[in-house]
Amino acid sequence: MKIITWNCNGAFRKKFSQLESFDADIIVIQECEDPKMSNDKKYKEWASNFIWIGDNKNKGLGMFCKASVKLSDNNWDTNGLKYFISANIDNNFNIIGLWNHHANSPTFGYIGQFWKYLQINKPLMTKTLITGDFNSNKIWDKWDRWWNHSDVVKELDEIEIRSLYHEYFNEKQGEEEVPTFYLQRNISKPYHIDYAFADKKTFKKIKNIIIGQKNDWLELSDHMPIIIEF
């Protein structure tokens, strides 16, 4: 199985073909249009098996699967947090696609949104993979917060869900050598803020992880896609 997560930086209807060569089973896209509301015929045809959420039809969170994949919305409670899709794949495992927002929260923006989501849905997170744009990194931890990036990683580890990138490349949180994001598409401002976490028992063997290179993707988005193969 192959899974991709990518913040496409909008206009996904013009970019989805760039991912076709990877032949992914599941694709999680941030900042994409709602296929149901799109006037682009090719995009609507391509998005035949999907779940999409958002407040703006031009910029939301989408999960797209091959036609052969059984995609079922879990409808786990979000309590208004932004943005999370929980789904079941082939009656076999759960996947959470996310796009962490500031959400106009004075306290619980970005990783705080996921921390809250985790408190609500943690008991349901069996056989689960979590992937998307977290907008977070250990380098931005604040010592007086109990829900910073490191705390979230710790809580996930307590339910045996670990970061696939860090396991595969044997790197530590906050010391990532490969960026997933270039602020304002400036190559001198690289950050690692997109992740995939997965249950240790269900997703034992990682065959390959590829992070897109800036020379190939920076014209399309400020984020690089992450391609994971099991």
For the chain, 230 residues long, give each residue's pLDDT as a single digit of tens: 999 999 999 999 999 999 999 999 999 999 999 999 999 999 999 999 999 999 999 999 999 999 999 999 999 999 999 999 999 999 999 999 999 999 999 889 999 999 999 999 999 999 999 999 999 999 999 988 889 999 999 999 999 999 999 999 999 999 999 999 999 999 999 999 999 999 999 999 999 999 999 999 999 999 999 999 99
Q: CATH number for the domain including 138?
A: 3.60.10.10
Contact (CB, 8 A) for 93 and 204: no
Provide the number of structural domains found in the chain. 1
Question: Does residue 15 lie in a domain region?
Answer: yes
pLDDT of res. 168: 98
Question: Does residue 163 lie in a domain region?
Answer: yes
Question: Does residue 28 lie in a domain region?
Answer: yes
pLDDT of res. 143: 85
Q: What is the amino acid identity at position 161?
A: I
Question: Does residue 106 lie in a domain region?
Answer: no
Burial of 167 (0-12, 13-18, 19+ CB in 10 A): middle
pLDDT of res. 40: 97
pLDDT of res. 146: 82
How far is it, in rounded angstroms, from Cα 19 to Cα 227? 10
Question: Does residue 87 lie in a domain region?
Answer: no
Question: Does residue 11 lie in a domain region?
Answer: yes
Question: Does residue 158 lie in a domain region?
Answer: yes
How far is it, in rounded angstroms, from Cα 229 to Cα 206? 6
Question: Does residue 64 lie in a domain region?
Answer: yes
Burial of 153 (0-12, 13-18, 19+ CB in 10 A): buried
pLDDT of res. 210: 98
| Integer angstrom CA distances of residue 206 from 63, 138, 179, 200, 227 | 21, 23, 20, 10, 11
Q: Which domain holds residue 179?
A: 2-68+130-229
**Tokens 């580890």, located at residue:** 157
